[in-house]
Structure 1
Amino acid sequence: MPLKIQLFACAALLACLSPKAALASAAEDRKEINEIRTQILQRLYKEEPSTKALIRKAAGYATFSNIGVNLIFLSAGGGSGVVRDNATGQDIYMKMGTAGVGIGLGVKDFSAVFVFHSKKALNNFVEYGWDFSGQADAAAKSGKKGSEGSAAVTVIKEVDVYQMTENGLALQATLQGTKYWKNDKLN
């Protein structure tokens, strides 16, 4: 499949899968992101109970809800989330986009939790927001049915990352770059 067609297909799939209405108000968007944060943390605490204390003691944390698409040699994704500065209680709403190369096929809806072990790591993430990672992933999940297996390595210092698949069918091995940036509409 030509590269231009793969890129177009990735963009089209992401546009169709986006759960947010384009005309939603900023307050509604913040409320939805905060509700998703609560759901993500509840699931993480259930699956990894030790993370509750880890997050409480950390400089801050972030939760993101993402949709990723893999079409043969390219991968793309997008989502939104919120960063919490534990010292100030401030929430910073953010967006994310990812692109990568490798071998893969599928679509998946997944969540990520970042735990920042220093104020510097938290500030660098909010201000610069880049992550380059390698991922190997196999997921076949719909609601509570199915299973997943994934491994991710991040190059962000002083940060732990937890990733959980919500729904999807994907098999991939990719190198990805992800950009996180402040959501001007919500901050």
Structure 2
Amino acid sequence: MMNVRHFFAGCLVLILSACASMGEGTPEQKRQAIHQMKNETLRQLYAKKPDTRAQIASAPGYAVFSNANVNLLFVAAGTGYGVVQSNLSGTTTYMNMAEGGVGLGLGVKDYRIVMVFHSAEAMNSFVESGWTFGGNADAAAKASQKGASVEGEAYYGNVTVYTFTESGLALQATVKGTKFWKDKELN
């Protein structure tokens, strides 16, 4: 039984490191890749929910993240990267993320998170502290523009969070925690 656990844990680490890596490149190339991901994600969000364009423009700030998530039976884990943009000061903060949880699930998915901060305090707290906890239940079967996924919109105090699947095949019901932190290399 212990060998099976080690095998799954090793597979999980290997898959996650491959999925979430930004790859090689200079810090400037990585920043540019993050901004391309941000712009494409916002374009997709605006196409699905046109009212979010005005919401983001009038908010003190917003964040966009790319995340790769793996579920193997009772364990879920994911890593990703993104950016927080302050509409008040014009500053950009590059961040990383990691998540882990327990529950029932199987599959791999690549998804995007857009957070809209409705107060400067909420944005500053997120950048400085970065913790989020929550439950998650979803189904996704999507490759490129084909397939379907269940997407969500949630409200946490002064933050609205939109999530949608970019690609993947997953069925999960998990309780997980997510940690966001500043990227020392890119800031």
Same fold (TM over 0.5): yes
Q: Do the aligned residues in 1 keep the contact of 2:20 with 2:67 (CA within 8 Å)?
A: no
Q: For the Cα contact (< 8 Å) 1:117–1:159, is it kept in 2? A: yes
Instruction: Give ranges in structure 1 of 5+ residues lacking alignment.
Output: none
Counterpart contact for 2:101–2:175, Cα < 8 Å: yes
Residue in 2 aligned with 1:159? 159
- Offset from partner CA, 1:129-163 (integer Å, 9 cap, x none): 00001111100000000000144756x42100000
The aligned residue for residue 129 of structure 1 is: 130
| 1:104 corresponds to | 105
Match in the other structure for 1:185: 185
Q: Report the counterpart of residue 11 of structure 2 in structure 1.
A: 9
CA contact (8 A) 1:135 1:150 kept: no
2:120 aligns with: 119
Contact 2:76 2:101 in 1 (8 A): yes
Q: Does 1:174 align with 2:174?
A: yes
CA displacement 1:3-22 (0-9 Å, x = unmatched): 4433322111112223522x
- Identity of paired residues, percent? 45
Q: When the two structures are superposed, what TM-score results if normalisation uses the length of structure 2? A: 0.94
* SS across alignment from 1:49: coil
- Secondary structure of 1:126's aligned partner: helix
Give me the whole-angstrom Cα distance separating, in 1, the residues matched to 2:11 and 2:167.
20
Cα pair 1:135 1:151 within 8 Å, conserved: no
User: Superposition RMSD on alpha carbons, in Å?
Assistant: 1.5
1:18 and 2:20 correspond: yes
Cα separation, 1, equivalents of 2:140 and 2:118: 29
Which SS does the other structure have where 1:35 is aligned? helix
Q: Do the aligned residues in 2 keep the contact of 1:55 with 1:61 (CA within 8 Å)?
A: yes
Give distance in 1, aligned partners of 2:81 and 2:30: 10
Structure 2 match to 1:61: 62
> How far does residue 165 in structure 1 lie from its aligned partner after superposition?
0.4
Unpaired runs of at least 5, structure 2: none
CA distance in 2, matches of 1:149, 1:133: 17
Aligned residues: 185
- Where does residue 48 of structure 2 map in the other structure? 47
